[in-house]
Amino acid sequence: MKRSLVLILLLVGVNALAQQQGKVVSFTINAKTLQNTGGENPNRKVSVYLPPDYDQPGKRFPVIYYLHGFMGTDSIYQQMKLILDRAITQKKIRSFILVQANQYTQYEGSFYSNSTLTGNWSDFTAKELVAYVDKNYKTIAHRESRGIAGHSMGGYGALKIAMLYPDVFSSVYALSPGLLAFVKEFGPNSSSFRDLGKVTSQEELKRTYYPKVLVAVARAWSPNPNKPPFYCDVPFTYQGDSMIVNQAVLQKWNENMPVYMVDKYADNLRKLKAIKLDWGRNDAARFPLQCGMFSQRLENLGIAHYAEEYIGDHGNKIWTIDGRVLNDLLPFFNEYLKFETN
């Protein structure tokens, strides 16, 4: 019995040593791009995963910018770190840096968009944050060595920013990206816009989900400084059972939804080395539909990409041992990022 216990302890120790250990560091940046009149804090915490061999002299590394989802923050929690360490140990990806910035706002998400009210979050991510990381960390400071990825709201942000800044990022992977189009739970005839019309205070809004998302989106895409309490407009409102469409606001929303942005930014998308999105078959109804629409639009324009539906829901196959980050996202970037400085 004692010999068996000793053997088990030895095996555990060997496995622990075999798993290479990176480290997570953080900093706070006072972002010039995020100066705003909407009450958002421009001081943003950023967490950075550094690979096990980061301190080796002369080595430099590609960077994956990972965008969190709605209600998320910069936190690279223990399970995330374990997956990143495991990927390097198992040689699913060579040594790399991962950066995640806190884009949580008063209404729980920036939607990675430039806004005259809340700040320029697209510019912050693609310009100011990248410049800071390249200056202060051992990066390979070239688009071929930068990828952008994210989950849900972050998947939306990854696709949008890749479209806008192909000179900064060379490849993009979107996990279950949201708000690509007006469909299902965020369609004009869903209950979401009706429910929002009944909300009159921030305290009441916090107790909702879909209306809160719509306000966060509207503050990013269609701010209105003269319209308290949320200081934004939405494209669809209701008088009784009659839907009223605000065409000017609808146009602004269309200009920020990737399905409708593809035509304008097709040339930018063609500059990217690789594009991939995936989604769970058992996710909320809007995800399979809008992801399919986006993929179809890319296909119709001859834009090469990968699109995959897997058996899962919105979160059960993301940061897990059998999940998409370890087994699909990181190998994707291992294939398409440039890892050498020469």
Per-residue pLDDT tens digits for 96-113: 999 999 999 999 999 999
292's enclosing H/E stretch is helix 286-300
pLDDT single digits (tens) 217-247: 999 999 999 999 999 999 999 988 899 999 9
CA dist 151 → 57, 119, 247 (Å)? 34, 22, 30
pLDDT category, 341, cuts 50, 70, 90?
Answer: confident
* pLDDT score recorded for residue 287: 96
b/e sequence 244-259, b meaning 16+ C-beta within 10 Å? eeeeebbebbeebbbb
pLDDT on residue 131: 98
pTM: 0.93
Domains of the chain and any CATH numbers: 17-181+258-336 (3.40.50.1820), 184-251 (no CATH)
Average pLDDT score over residue span 51-67:
97
Mean pLDDT of 308-331: 97
| Average pLDDT over all residues of the chain | 94
The Cβ-side half-sphere exposure at 38, using a 13 Å CA radius, reads 30
Q: What is the pLDDT of residues 266-301, one digit of tens each?
A: 999 999 999 999 999 999 999 999 999 999 999 999
Give just the sign of the alpha carbon dihedral 217, 73, 20, 79. negative
Residue 99 near residue 133 (C-beta atoms within 8 A) = yes
φ and ψ at residue 306, rounded to 5 degrees:
-115, 140
With bands split at pLDDT 50, 70 and 90, how would you rate the model's confidence at 16? very low
Residue 8 is predicted with a pLDDT of 42
